[in-house]
Structure 1
Amino acid sequence: MFTSVLIILCGVFGVETDVMKKVFVTEGDDVTLHTGVSIMKDDVQILWMFGRKNPDTLIAEIYKLKIYIFDGHVSVMKGKLQMDSQTGSLIIRNISSVHSGLYKAQIINTTTKYRRFNFTVYAPVSLPVIASSSVVSVCQTSDCQKYPASCIDPDESFSCEVCAVMCSADNGADVSLSWFKNNERLNQTSSPDRNISLSLSLEIQERNNNTYYCVAANPVNNLTTQLNFQEHCPQHTS
């Protein structure tokens, strides 16, 4: 450890710092954080540091082509870390949310360079579930003129048969729930409260050739459930 500190102090006379790179990944993935080194040489030293708010804990090192893993320094890293002997890149196996944080590679030769990563791990989103409920509501005259197929008796009560559906999905970090018509987003919801599920309603007044689907998404993945008119809007299938 003393050798590593000494080399760091001697190497900082020429410092190059890279911009922080944001990395979004899904739980369970294996991820490689690249150093940008094409091939390791005997006189190159790379230190990998980690921290939730400040990357100040040494977790891995390669020096004189020998790899040292210090996963005991951070309990959540135990058994998760590897290093690429050719490039010094850090490999994290089967990641989970506890591995979110800041990572820094310190690359020391005649100068010192840094590679910095802001690393966020997301749980997979759940598949949206669509539930249907047929309702009858009072329509305006203009509605019956616009949607004549949905009007039960346009000459008298102007009642319309409306397909009302509700889409639901589990909530999570940065999860949003949206209804789409073809490629157009109709509405969207999200909530910072992880203890509640997300729900979003939609009403369709008449059958048409558009495709409606509900999407649950976060920054790294999304799942889609398409509205089935035969199942969810039987009053519109005749």
Structure 2
Amino acid sequence: MEGDSVTLKTDVTDKQGYDKIEWRFGEERIARIKGVNGTYYDEVWRFRGRLQLDHTGSLTIRNTTTEHTGVYRLSMKVGNEDIPKIYRVTVYAPLPIPVIFIDTLQSSSSERSSRIYLCSVVNVRHVTLSWYKGNSLLSNISVSDLNISLSLPLEVEYQEKNTYSCVLNNPVSNQTQHLDITQLCHTCADSVHYCGTAEVVIRLVVSALMGVAAVAAIVVLVYDIKSRTGEKRPDINLRQRSIRY
């Protein structure tokens, strides 16, 4: 997970006998031990201040981020012989909590005896999104490399009272959202509540109408003030004319 530390071990007990130990991330050299001259860390910005080599040449990366995902290559030189090793590291971002809402477009038909729920997450990668009925897996969908949004539908009979849950997981963590089918729609204040799309649209429309009403009131007020001012101007002009003549 992001923020964790990871150690890539050389599997040696002592650096004595090794002429050189060198670490690379992709094609970039990031750290090395050379003879008795000491330890060196190359100025690679994504690793700055995060690397540590111990006396065996094992490499620790502290406070990892997803930018540290990739292939690490170890080269140990013993005499004229190079001993290579390859490590593949994947750092996972924290998982969001899935959001469950009613698919009003699919559930609105009067002929339906069931309701369609959608479990959705946004901007995820290397994850699986699943629906469970109790402990039984009903369906799932997975994504690998790209950051995308996922939605997975679930059809539930109106009078059904089984326990359902939506689970988002990757190889190191998971997030679960439970479906309470007795509650039609709660406030959308945070992601742990369920909200039908119809209510969301109504709230947006009401907010927009209130905004229009406020603007209209301001326009009417300004127009009224201008009208009152305009009514007084002819008297002033008459006085000015009477003075001249």
Could you tell me the TM-score, scaled by structure 1's length? 0.64
Q: Does 1:43 align with 2:29?
A: no
Matches of residues 80-119 of structure 1 in structure 2 within 5 Å? 80-85=50-55, 87-109=56-78, 111-119=81-89
Aligned partner of 1:69 in structure 2 is: 40
Q: Give the secondary structure class of the aligned counterpart of 1:104.
A: strand
- The size of the alignment, in residue pairs, is 180
The structure where helix makes up a greater share of residues is: 2
Cα separation, 2, equivalents of 1:193 and 1:63: 39
1:180 alignment partner, one of 112, 132, 137: 132
- Asked if the contact 1:83–1:91 (Cα under 8 Å) also holds between the matched residues in 2, the reply is yes
Aligned to 2:181: 229
Q: Aligned letter for 1:115?
A: K
Corresponding residue for 2:235? Answer: none
The partner residue of 1:122 within 92, 98, 102 is 92
CA separation of 1:207 and 1:65: change in aligned 2, threshold 3 A: farther
Q: Which moved more, 1:220-229 or 1:130-139?
A: 130-139
Alignment of 1:187-198 (within 5 A): 187-190=139-142, 194=147, 197-198=149-150
Per the alignment, in what secondary structure is the counterpart of residue 231 of structure 1?
coil
**Aligned positions of 1:13-28 closer than 5 A:** 26-28=1-3
Aligned to 2:168: 216
Structure 1 unpaired stretches of 5+: 1-25, 140-158, 234-238
Partner SS state of residue 197, structure 1:
strand
**Structure in which a larger fraction of residues adopt strand:** 1
Is 1:59 the counterpart of 2:30? The answer is: yes
Pairing 1:207–2:148 present: no
Aligned to 1:30: 5
Q: CA deviation at 1:133?
A: 6.3
Note the alpha carbon deviations across 1:104-135, whole angstroms, 9 max, x for none.
Answer: 11223355422211222222221111224684
193 and 119 in structure 1: CA distance in 2 versus 1, 3 angstrom threshold: closer
Q: How large is the Cα RMSD of the aligned pairs?
A: 2.9
Mapped partners of 1:67, 1:170: distance in 2: 46
Give the 3-state SS of the residue equivalent to 2:183 in structure 1. helix
Matched-pair identity in %:
40
TM-score, normalised to structure 2, is: 0.62
Maintained 8 Å contact 1:41/1:64: no
Q: CA deviation at 1:33?
A: 0.9
User: CA shift at 1:202, angstroms?
Assistant: 1.1
* Contact 2:125 2:146 (C-alpha < 8 Å) held by counterparts: no
- For the residue of structure 1 that corresponds to 2:155, the secondary structure is strand
1:230 aligns to what SS in structure 2?
coil
Structure 2 counterpart of 1:42, one-letter code: Q
**Aligned-residue offset at 1:49:** 1.5
3-state DSSP of counterpart to 1:225? strand
- Structure 2 residue runs without a partner (length 5+): 186-245
Higher relative CO (Cα under 8 Å, sequence separation at least 6) belongs to 1
In structure 1, the partner of 2:233 is none
